[in-house]
């Protein structure tokens, strides 16, 4: 590889070396000129003699194979893959279109300080590139999203380069690959375990955007339980900060599932795959959280969402034993005193009054003690029912057999209500009784959509 560092050297009688662009974990990249087309290209080289790990050769060949099948304006065009044998060495080469511009790392090093609008524009373009990669069969995972691998032109156009760590989901699933590939600080936690999913690249994108906003490496930012705490160090809108926080969640199930989901959320669009006519938008106060983590569904319903009629009923039960009991005792005492005074002409009117007061007081206390016990029991039952239909649910989609809305009639309140029901192999889940009807229908529709995608 040392010989290639000399400028003006011609490789394979076609590519003239202009200079070194950079060096990564797999190979060295040079700027060169294609003598056939007189166009500048990026020539990535790997020396067999200087390579101590066979895994690098495998990654290099996988990169060439992946690049040959890509066709996106944000990815430099693949030109050729070849090898050159000499008496002392064998070198492998990948020729690509040279992306004009500078890397984000170079721009930050030169003093560039992008604002929120510029960072958003970069995020939009990178998410579109990642969405394209994830739409392939099988989906491709870059695994090394970082500022050094993102080229920005003067006109604002973005290129994603260096697919040396690329992996497709088929390869990972079949071979169970466990190689740790990536760059510390930009790697998702699962990469340290040799695992990569669609949202792995999203984590790298999120930490790259944080690098642009904070001018600091992600590893230098404060953390709490693996979560990067960045809000105090950036001056951006709350909406964008919330989006960034979600895209860099350490847990896979807490992140956006795919680049399409992240892009839709960044644009403020409704989730795709849902019929707009049947889409029930939730109010800003909605407490529903539904997470589709591929192998698990997580549903969380905050127990502070109930129709006004039921809410008033529960408040009455909650306050009645505190207010009605002392009020009724005072009223009973006044009534006893009033009725007893009708006998004041009797010689033993004092005894009669005290006797009646004692008996009626015992009766009143007994009555209202029973009333108190009844209210307490009713309140406990309401709490049990409330928690029964407002809770957290975690279930595997493979175990779900049916999702529907079921009805329940409350004769005392003279109302009928519906709740969400999931029929699984081992048990039934009933929830959402106190949600507004539109949110119940939206939630059931989302669950059915998740199941249809799985099938």
Residue 149 lies in a domain: yes
CATH code where residue 172 lies = 1.10.510.10
In the DSSP assignment, the letter for residue 5 is G
> Are residues 106 and 93 part of one domain?
no
pLDDT of 390 higher than 70? no
Whether residue 67 contacts residue 26, with contact meaning beta carbons closer than 8 Å, is answered with no
- Mind listing the pLDDT tens digit for each residue in 33-84? 999 999 999 999 988 887 777 778 888 888 888 888 899 999 999 999 999 8
For residues 248 and 108, state if they share a domain: yes
Examine the domain organization and report whether 108 and 179 are in the same domain.
Answer: yes
80, 97, 114 — which closes off a domain? 97
The CATH number that applies at residue 25 is: 3.30.200.20
CB atoms within 10 A of CB 29: 20
Instruction: Report the 10 Å Cβ neighbour count for 31.
Output: 17
146 belongs to a structural domain: yes
Q: How many CA atoms lie within 13 A of 309 on its CB side?
A: 9
Handedness of CA 150, 193, 221, 115 (dihedral sign): positive
CB 357 within 8 A of CB 343: no
Query: Both 262 and 205 in a single domain?
Result: yes
Same domain, 325 and 265: no
Three-state SS sequence of 331-398: HHHHHHHHHHHHHCCCCCHHHHHHHHHHHHHHHHHHHHHHHHHHHHHHHHHHHHHHHHCCCEEEECHH
Q: For residue 282, is it within any domain?
A: no
313 and 219 share one domain: no
Residues 67 and 175 in one domain: no
Same domain, 42 and 171: no
Q: What is the pLDDT of residue 432?
A: 76
Q: CA Rg, the chain, in Å?
A: 34
Phi, psi of 289 (to 5 degrees): -125, 120
| Cα 220 from Cα 228, distance rounded (Å) | 10
- Tell me: do 350 and 249 sit in the same domain: no
Q: How close are the terminal C-alpha atoms of the chain, in Å?
A: 50
Tokens representing 417 are 């209500």
pTM equals 0.57
Residue 439 belongs to some domain of the structure? no
- Considering 357, 388, 419, which residue would you say is the last residue of a domain? 388
Let me know if 292 is a catalytic residue.
Answer: no
Instruction: Tell me, yes or no, whether 142 lies in a domain.
Output: yes
Is residue 436 predicted with pLDDT exceeding 60? yes
Give the count of domains, the chain: 3
Shared domain check, 178 and 140? yes
In the set 144, 162, 261, 449, the catalytic residue is 144
Which domain covers residue 323, as residue numbers? 308-388
157 with 214, same domain: the answer is yes
Structure-block tokens of residue 38:
């007189």
Domain boundary among 77, 97, 117: 97
> Is residue 354 in a domain?
yes
> Per-residue pLDDT averaged across 263-290, rounded?
55
For 1-17, write each residue's pLDDT tens digit: 444 446 668 888 899 99
Q: Is 410 or 121 the better-scoring residue by pLDDT?
A: 121
Q: What is the pLDDT of residue 219?
A: 86
CA–CA separation, 212 and 9 (whole Å): 37
**Residues paired with 415 in a beta bridge:** 410
| Any domain includes 244 | yes
Q: Are 405 and 420 in contact (CB under 8 A)?
A: yes
Q: Is 412 part of a structural domain of the chain?
A: no
CB 200 within 8 A of CB 210: no
- Mark whether 214 and 264 lie in a shared domain: yes
């Amino acid at each position: 590889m040392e010989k290639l560092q000399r400028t003006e050297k011609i490789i394979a009688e076609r590519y003239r070396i202009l200079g070194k662009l950079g060096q990564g974990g797999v190979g060295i990249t040079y700027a060169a000129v294609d003598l056939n087309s007189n166009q500048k290209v990026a020539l990535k080289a790997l020396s067999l003699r200087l390579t101590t790990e066979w895994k690098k050769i495998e990654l290099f060949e996988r990169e060439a194979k992946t690049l040959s099948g890509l066709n996106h304006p944000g990815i430099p065009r693949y030109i050729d893959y070849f090898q050159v044998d000499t008496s002392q060495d064998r070198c492998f080469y990948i020729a690509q279109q040279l992306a004009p511009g500078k890397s984000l790392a170079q721009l930050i090093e030169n003093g560039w300080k992008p604002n929120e609008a510029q960072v958003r524009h970069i995020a939009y373009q990178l998410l579109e590139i990642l969405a394209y990669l994830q739409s392939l069969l099988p989906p491709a995972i870059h695994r090394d999203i970082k500022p050094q691998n993102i080229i920005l032109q003067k006109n604002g156009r973005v290129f994603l380069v260096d697919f040396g760590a690329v992996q497709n989901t088929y390869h990972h699933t079949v071979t169970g690959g466990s190689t740790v590939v990536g760059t510390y600080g930009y790697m998702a936690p699962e990469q340290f375990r040799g695992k990569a999913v669609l949202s792995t690249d999203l984590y790298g994108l999120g930490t790259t955007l944080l690098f642009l906003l904070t001018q600091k490496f992600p590893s230098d930012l404060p953390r709490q339980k693996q979560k990067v705490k960045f809000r105090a160090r950036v001056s951006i809108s709350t909406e964008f900060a919330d989006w960034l926080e979600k895209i860099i969640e350490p847990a896979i199930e807490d992140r956006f599932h795919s680049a399409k989901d992240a892009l839709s959320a960044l644009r403020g669009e409704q989730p795709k795959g849902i019929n707009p006519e049947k889409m029930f938008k939730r109010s800003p106060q909605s407490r529903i959280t539904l997470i589709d983590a591929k192998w698990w569904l997580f549903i969380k319903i905050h127990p502070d969402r109930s129709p006004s009629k039921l809410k008033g009923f529960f408040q009455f039960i909650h306050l009645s034993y505190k207010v009605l009991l002392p009020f009724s005792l005072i009223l009973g005492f006044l009534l006893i005193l009033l009725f007893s005074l009708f006998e004041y002409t009797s010689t033993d009117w004092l005894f009669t009054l005290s006797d009646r007061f004692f008996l009626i007081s015992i009766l009143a206390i007994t009555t209202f003690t029973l009333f108190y016990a009844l209210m307490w029991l009713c309140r406990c039952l309401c709490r049990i029912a409330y928690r029964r239909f407002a809770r957290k649910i975690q279930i595997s989609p493979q175990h779900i057999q049916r999702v529907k809305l079921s009805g329940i009639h409350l004769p005392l309140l003279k109302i009928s209500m519906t709740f969400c029901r999931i029929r699984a192999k081992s048990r039934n889940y009933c929830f959402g009784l106190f949600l507004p009807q539109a949110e119940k229908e939206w939630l059931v529709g989302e669950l059915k959509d998740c199941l249809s995608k799985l099938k």
